Amino acid sequence: MGSSYAVTLTVPDHLWATTVGQESVTGRADTRRALRRRGRAAWRTAASLGACRTDRFIMVVAVGESHGSPMLAAETLKPLVDAGTDQGLWPDDDPWHRACTLYMPDPRPDPVGATRVSMAVIPLEPAEDPVSRLLGCVPGAKGRPVRLDGIGDHDWLTSNMRLDPKERSARQGRLMTACAASWRSHGSVGVNAAGICWVRYPDSRREYKGDPDNAAESATAMWGEGVALGLAPAVPTGFAFLLADGESAPGTHDLDLLALTTPPGFNWLKALTA
């Protein structure tokens, strides 16, 4: 199965991209290309130092706190993960290989003018359930389910959509409004909490190759509504993405979010690799 390992690199501020950014379509593409080049160099170095090809894994991404919530970094991470695929460190970065991606804050100070990003690869057995692995780290945690099912194509938002920034913001606003009632019905999750988000696609294939992280902009809106209502912390201790079982209705997508309590100062990476 191989051993866990991590890669750390710094991303200069001018290349930092977030799930709430206002970059143009062209600007996004240029930033992704530059990040992918940086990522290739980092993964190439890891391979030269003994990092092994991994078939199935959890990726834990620790992000410097200078940019707020770690889940906002999903837009920066996408080309960095693609770079690992380029270097052959896993067969593909689809959810059948990168079974779960968890973002967490890195409490260390960032370098001036840059953000530190650490990506840990934690191998999984072929049939191992990443959710059981996550929940096993927080025994006794209390959860609050927040559901947003049947999201139509006119509201659905992913990082691959070539949309005007104003339209991206408008869609996030509508998603926030749509999940407000679900948040209110379950109450506050407390000041120390994490999120696990399952993404369901309208695809009947047994092994859909879509990347749940692509829905990070939609998930950001869901969590953001909890923050706006005072029911969730602005900076979660972690936020994970997984592919949901089943199939959503044609022309729609589903997001199932579990907000769960964690101990103060909880470190997901240490818990997962203990």
Question: Tokens for 36?
Answer: 């992918």
Classified as helix, coil or strand, 260 is: strand
204-230 average pLDDT score: 87
> Hey, which residues does 64 pair with through a beta bridge?
106
158-162 average pLDDT score: 79
Q: Which residue has the higher pLDDT, 102 or 93?
A: 102
Mean pLDDT of the chain: 91
Which pLDDT score, from 0 to 100, does residue 115 have? 92
Which pLDDT score, from 0 to 100, does residue 193 have? 97
Q: Which residue has the higher pLDDT, 141 or 28?
A: 141
Which pLDDT score, from 0 to 100, does residue 156 have? 92
pLDDT tens readout for residues 68-99? 788 888 889 999 999 999 999 999 988 999 99
Prediction pTM value: 0.93
Which pLDDT score, from 0 to 100, does residue 6 have? 94
230-238 average pLDDT score: 96
What percent of the chain shows pLDDT beyond 70? 99
**Ordered structural domains, the chain, with CATH:** 5-128 (3.30.1330), 143-268 (3.30.1330)
Which residue, among 59, 161, 132, has the nearest Cα to 101 in the 3D structure? Answer: 59
Contacting residues for 172 by C-beta, under 8 A, at least 6 apart:
20, 157, 217, 218, 220, 221, 224
Residue type, 145: P
206-224 average pLDDT score: 85
Q: Are 138 and 274 in contact (CB under 8 A)?
A: no
- Residue recorded with tokens 């996004």: 28
Q: Are 38 and 86 in contact (CB under 8 A)?
A: no
Contacting residues for 270 by C-beta, under 8 A, at least 6 apart:
none
Which pLDDT score, from 0 to 100, does residue 209 have? 62
Q: Any idea which of 62-71, 183-192, 232-241 has the lowest mean pLDDT?
A: 62-71
